[in-house]
Structure 1
């Protein structure tokens, strides 16, 4: 069985749980306490020297990096090939958004961490960067229901958590980004969707 080293309030871990649940893939969850820096323990660093989450183990395979894990899970466990396409054009379109999820959208994740965990950072600067990427995303979704290919893919799975959780934590209101807001609500209707619990109650 798959083993997922997981922190409940991590958006990067959440996206893996989302895809596993949407594909009905059973897994064992190993909780890692990021608040108390368990990821810096020697035991954890033996699993991932970068001290990052998530980590996924599937038999003898061990993977780090959420986007790499999403790609692996989709390719191996999606028997219909809908979440991650096999053609070069489709795969490249998806990977653009995986890069966005691990790049520009991390400004939203950091803003959420400042709000929820009171981490030291310039929240105003993070919000300015967040609104910049949201404006781009809102324009991209003007005539689309999904990020690419006209259907939910791992691009949507990767981008959803940081946007939805930032709003849930009270960092900003998505109402000014109508297309993004509608996409968030649409994503919640995908079969197998699961919520992340108690994000707003932590702050």
Structure 2
């Protein structure tokens, strides 16, 4: 397998992290976004949206980080990461939607301002970030993982942009249960850290 990747992308990191947790042999191909490599005809043939990450598996191309998580869990037969039962699968999907929605438009958007200079309204996206973090905190108060009693791709989908939230000036110190989830993910065999930048608070509790 090959993962077309950009080191500072949380979306790319969640795919790389899951590949490593699964211990799946793979090659990392870094895409130079600044040079526009994601807009070349060759890359657009793999993903017409021009976005990383893209997973290549024996001539098949899977775009979208959450789709890659699902693909890898199914391809490797690791149902502990993606439950087969209807309720478990639905609960995981709910959190994948949170990662693609509330998380992307909150903590991830706040980080895009400081790291990449995106023209979002800081007050708006930071407020949104604390709202979703509060909801996750409340959900985790009586559990260790988002779904069931073990890690799933629901947890992996949240990790990168939560751990990177302080780079967008979103302070995590008031969320002990969320920080507990981050530490448990970091303790998993095969964990790969999300590269840090000098931006933001860098104040993970």
- Superposition TM-score tier, normalisation by shorter sequence: over 0.9
Q: 1:35 Cα shift?
A: 3.2
- Tell me, yes or no, if structure 1 residue 125 matches structure 2 residue 130: no
Q: Give the SS at the match of 2:7.
A: coil
What is the rounded CA distance, in whole Å, between the counterparts of 2:102 and 2:86 in structure 1? 24
Q: Give the SS at the match of 2:27.
A: strand
CA 25–156 in structure 1, closer or farther in 2 if over 3 Å, else same: same
Q: Map of 1:117-196 to 2, 5 A cutoff?
A: 117-167=116-166, 169=167, 171-196=169-194
Q: Give the SS at the match of 1:106.
A: coil
For residues 157-187 of structure 1, give each alpha carbon's deviation from its aligned partner in whole angstroms, at most 9, with x where no partner exists: 00111101112x2622211111111111121
What is the rounded CA distance, in whole Å, between the counterparts of 2:55 and 2:84 in structure 1? 22
Alignment correspondent of 1:99:
97
Give the TM-score, by structure 1 length: 0.92
For residues 122-175 of structure 1, give each alpha carbon's deviation from its aligned partner in whole angstroms, at most 9, with x where no partner exists: 1111101111111111100010100001110000000111101112x2622211
Q: 1:78 Cα shift?
A: 4.4
For residues 43-93 of structure 1, give each alpha carbon's deviation from its aligned partner in whole angstroms, at most 9, with x where no partner exists: 2212111111111110121111111110010111244x2111111111111
Q: Give the SS at the match of 1:17.
A: helix
Q: CA RMSD in A?
A: 1.5
Q: Give the SS at the match of 1:172.
A: coil
Alignment correspondent of 1:19:
18
Q: Give the SS at the match of 1:176.
A: coil
Structure 2 unaligned regions, length at least 5: 201-205
Q: Is the 8 A contact 1:53 1:65 kept in 2?
A: yes
Alignment correspondent of 1:8:
7
Alignment correspondent of 1:201:
198
What is the rounded CA distance, in whole Å, between the counterparts of 1:43 and 1:64 in structure 2? 14
Q: Is the 8 A contact 1:170 1:200 kept in 2?
A: no
What is the rounded CA distance, in whole Å, between the counterparts of 2:53 and 2:199 in structure 1? 21
Q: Give the SS at the match of 2:173.
A: helix
Kindly tell me the number of residue pairs found equivalent between the two proteins.
Answer: 199
Give the TM-score, by structure 2 length: 0.92
Structure 1 unaligned regions, length at least 5: none
